[in-house]
Amino acid sequence: MIPEKVLPITNGFLRPLRLEDLHQDYIDGLNNPAVNRYLEVRRVKQTVESVRSFIKHNIDSSDGVLWGIWKNSSRHHVGTVRIHGINENLRYGDIGICIFCQSAWGQGTGSDAIKAATQWAFAELKLYSIEAHAYLDNAASIRTFLKSGYTRLQDRVKNVSGESGLIRHAFLRAESENILEN
């Protein structure tokens, strides 16, 4: 899904990521252990081909949007926020975020992007709720979702087959305020 839309944030904007937006800093950021520590991409070294394929998958997807995040001071975009797993019947979806440019951390970029994408999904897609998952020790992520209007519903500990050890994560949710009006 690639809506023709630009969403303003403080000193920047979001717009759907296109294939021509791919750049080396994006790939390097996804391979940076400080960035990918809590992300699934850490499992496989990212390349031009793998990131291109991810962007294309999202463009072609009917149930997700991959927004690129740009700051005015940056030549390239600094991160992505993705609404995915959209269920049009039950009107819920999931959200994930990655500011791969570490120098953009701690300036409100992550929370601005989460708020903008969440508000867009409530207003345009008429979703009722959006859910986020964060590893329990990813305190920055949990704090960022809480700052963005998400509520921490519960912490979960799961023993996933095929994985060694337990997966501990926090489950957060944002609810559309006008749920009864739609």
Contact residues for ligand COA, defined by CB under 6 A = 35, 38-39, 97-99, 105-111, 134, 138-141, 143-144, 147
| Interatomic CA distance for residues 129 and 30, integer angstroms | 28
Q: Are 120 and 108 in contact (CB under 8 A)?
A: no
Joined tokens for residue 172: 């957060």
Shortest reach from residue 182's CB to ligand COA, in Å: 28
Question: Can you name the residues that pair with 155 across neighbouring β-strands?
Answer: 170
Shortest reach from residue 78's CB to ligand COA, in Å: 9
Q: Are 52 and 154 in contact (CB under 8 A)?
A: no
| Interatomic CA distance for residues 132 and 20, integer angstroms | 28
C-beta closer to ligand COA: residue 39 or 179 = 39
Residue number with the smallest Cβ distance to ligand COA: 110
C-beta closer to ligand COA: residue 90 or 139 = 139
C-beta closer to ligand COA: residue 34 or 180 = 34
| Interatomic CA distance for residues 75 and 117, integer angstroms | 21
C-beta closer to ligand COA: residue 105 or 171 = 105
| Interatomic CA distance for residues 93 and 44, integer angstroms | 25
Shortest reach from residue 165's CB to ligand COA, in Å: 19
Shortest reach from residue 131's CB to ligand COA, in Å: 11
Joined tokens for residue 98: 């990655």
